[in-house]
Structure formats: structure tokens, C-alpha cells
A = this chain, B = another copy of it.
Amino acid sequence: MTATPLTVNGRAYQWMEHPVVIVCVDGCEQEYINQAMQAGAVPFLQKLAESGTVLSGDCVVPSFTNPNNLSIVTGVPPAVHGICGNYFYDTQADAEVMMNDPKYLRAGTVLAAFADAGAKVAVVTAKDKLRTLLGYKMKGICFSAEKADQADLAEYGIPDIVSLVGMPVPSVYSAELSEFVFAAGVKLMETARPDLMYLSTTDYIQHKYAPGTDGANKFYAMMDRYLAQLDALGATIALTADHGMNAKTDSAGMPNVVFLQDVLDEALGKGRTRVILPITDPYVVHHGALGSYATVYAGEDIDLGALAKRIAAIPGIELVLDRKSASERFELPPDRIGDLVVVSERLAVIGTSSSKHDLSGLELPLRSHGGISEQRVPILLNRKLHGMPGAQRLRNFDVLHLALNHAR
């Protein structure tokens, strides 16, 4: 190890004095923590307001999982790292594809840089979809809870992870998938003791349960117990979220959906526009691929200004931006976001065609994310911060910077 700060994607990071654990709680609207505190369910988190640091920050819009996880581990917005959705229209390949392939990544991670410089680094994700992106060119421990039984950790001198954690591999649709992440994090801290660890959960619970309800409070109580253990093990913990979460329904729990492809097909004819939903991933049962953000590709003969106005007039739509404005305002890669970016209101989501969304898996009223309404997320540390400049807009992807440079 060396005391020289590392510079990654233009930002400098000090070496850690103690193990640092970055936790990304998927879909953690701040109110989940606040209500869990009200219910007395999270004693460890509750004491952070006094003994540590409680801040709020803005996540990346689209407020989806992949863009934000990648921003957190690279320290920069999608305009730099390139991952602007879970799913996108690859114009070069003329194909709609998942954005899981590291070939789409345009920046290295802070995790990989520290590993290269000699730090012991570990990454544990809930779903496997993020593993290859987060572990890109990273020497160290990297596995998902979803496929924990396939992880070969022998090379790190760690026995098989399922035995280590002492939990069976959970269903991909469960609270236990996230618990496995925390449990593995604690076991790794007890055994391998990584210098830098990144734990990333899944928002299965947040898509189902509102803040303050039993289902939510139980999840946060579980999380709180593991965080307290990491704290007791001497780790500096910095917790944030990839995005918030809101109800997307009326008072009877019926989803408010703008089926944008249907609207555009009716107005302009089929095949004239292509609506992309970057929330799409292989695990859509809990949200039916319905989020508050969409991109639109239009034929060259279409008047984009008129199209934008038409979309903006649809009830439930909050904002329509052209490629240039959207890439500037949200710091997105202009070549990957379509001709128009569409954001829906807090209580509404955007779909493509009604026939393409299977909502039969929605056992509970739709809760989702993707919009500006899910941009504010918590930033919590179990340390006081020092040497912070004055009022500034914090981002969730400042969390490594805060943990390494200011929580000393």
C-alpha cells in the first residue's frame, strides 16, 4: 500500500485507514429509514444523526439501478461511464439489449483502481445482473447472492461462500436475497477483512411495501443489525441508495400508466417511433417494467419539437427533453438516450404498449421509480465528516469521496 491518493476519473481518493464499506440500498426512499426510526426498528441507524452523519443527495436520472450503481463505483455521472439504463437501444447493433455487458462501460471503477494499487477489495451484489459491471477489471472478491453457489472463492483463500454465510441461496424475488448480501459482507469482514467493500441490495421489498409498513420495517431492522455488526468490526460505513421509490397508483391501488408507444402509434402510425424503457431487466415481476422514465427514437422525417409537445401534453407526463437538453441536464451519454427523454410525474409510470406489460405478477399496488421524483436519496455515515466545503449539491456518487476523503 501507499499513502499517495489515487486519482480515478479525475477525482482523488485517499487511502483508507480502516476498512471502508459502501452500501447501496436499492430503492431506499429516505422515508423508509425515517419511518423505521419512528417504529424503533433501526437503533443503529437512529444513532447516526448524533454519532455519525446524515445527509441527503441526488441520484442520477434515470433513477434506475445500473446507472446509479455504476456512478457510485466510478464517482462520475453516466455521461462519463456510459451506463444510462438497465436496458437500451444499441443503435450501432440496431438491437434493444441489456446494458449489463462491460463493453458498454466507458470508465474504470474506483474499486478496480484500489485493487490494482494493492488494496483488498470485495463486491457483493444481490442480483447477478450487476456483478460483471461492478467487478469490471477488478482483482478481488466479486459475486452475487443470486449465484452465490456458483462463486469460486477458493482463489481468495475463502471457503465456499454459501457455507461461510450459513444461509441457503435465496430466491431472486425475496428480502433474503438482500440479507444474504449483508450476511456475506459481515462474514467477509470477519475473515478476509477487505480494505474496501461494496454491498448492493435489491429493491424487491421497496417495490412492494410502503415506508413505515411492517414489510418495510422488518427489512430495515434486518439491515440495521448487520450494519451494527460491520460498525463493531471497525469499518467506516457509508450508505446511500441508487434511487428512491414512490407509489404509482390511485387511491384504490390501480397503476397510473401512460402507454406511450400506443399513444405514438395511434398518432403517427406504427413503426414510426420506438419507445425504450430503460428500467427493463430480466427481473420484472415486481414492477412489470413500468418506471417513470422512457426514451423515444423517432424516424428522421418526424418533427421532434411537435412530438415533444404532443408527449408533454399527455396527463401524467412531467417533462420531455430533446437529446441535447437531456444529456446536459442529467449528464447522460447523448449517443445512448434517443431523440427524446420522457419523465413521468411522481404518481405515474410509462409503458410501451399495454399488450407488452404483464402485470399479473403484481401482487401489490405498483411502486416504482425512474423519474425526478425518485432523485433524492439518503447519505449516511457512521463517522463525522471533516473538511467539507460549504453548501453544495451532494450526489449519491460522492459517497466514496465522502468516505475516503472526509470521514477520517
State in angstroms the CA–CA spacing of A377 and B191 once bound together: 53
> Are A54 and B252 in contact (CB-based, < 8 A)?
yes
> Are B391 and A48 in contact (CB-based, < 8 A)?
no
In the complex, which residues 326-369 of chain A have their Cβ closer than 8 Å to any Cβ of chain B?
A: 345-347, 364-365
Name which of A3-11, A33-41, A126-134, A276-284 contacts chain B: A33-41
> Are B364 and A347 in contact (CB-based, < 8 A)?
no
Residues of B within 8 A of A55 (CB): 250
CB distance from A292 to the nearest CB of B (A): 13
Residues of B within 8 A of A213 (CB): 35, 38-39, 212-213
Partner of A33, one of B251, B315, B380: B251
Q: Does A253 contact B (CB under 8 A)?
A: yes
Residues of B within 8 A of A39 (CB): 213
Q: A213-B212, A346-B373 are in contact. Are A315 and B31 (CB under 8 A)?
A: no
> Are A315 and B391 in contact (CB-based, < 8 A)?
yes
Q: Does A49 contact B (CB under 8 A)?
A: yes
> Are B346 and A34 in contact (CB-based, < 8 A)?
no
State in angstroms the CA–CA spacing of A250 and B45 once bound together: 13
> Are A38 and B365 in contact (CB-based, < 8 A)?
yes
> Are B391 and A210 in contact (CB-based, < 8 A)?
no
Q: How many copies altogether? A: 2
Residues of B within 8 A of A38 (CB): 213, 253, 364-365
Chain A interfacial residues counted at CB < 8 A: 40
Residue-wise, chain A 16-43 has the 8 Å CB interface mask toward B (1 for contact) of: 0000000000000011111101110000
Q: A210-B35, A213-B213, A347-B30 are in contact. Are A250 and B54 (CB under 8 A)?
A: yes
Q: Does A77 contact B (CB under 8 A)?
A: no
State in angstroms the CA–CA spacing of A31 and B378 once bound together: 22
> Are B54 and A254 in contact (CB-based, < 8 A)?
yes
Q: A210-B35, A213-B213, A365-B34 are in contact. Are A250 and B56 (CB under 8 A)?
A: yes
> Are B315 and A34 in contact (CB-based, < 8 A)?
no
Q: A346-B346, A346-B373 are in contact. Are A249 and B34 (CB under 8 A)?
A: yes
State in angstroms the CA–CA spacing of A393 and B54 once bound together: 40
Residues of B within 8 A of A32 (CB): 251
State in angstroms the CA–CA spacing of A135 and B55 once bound together: 47
13 A-B pairs within 8 Å (CB atoms) are namely: A30-B247, A31-B210, A32-B251, A33-B252, A34-B247, A35-B210, A35-B213, A48-B252, A210-B211, A210-B212, A212-B213, A250-B378, A251-B380
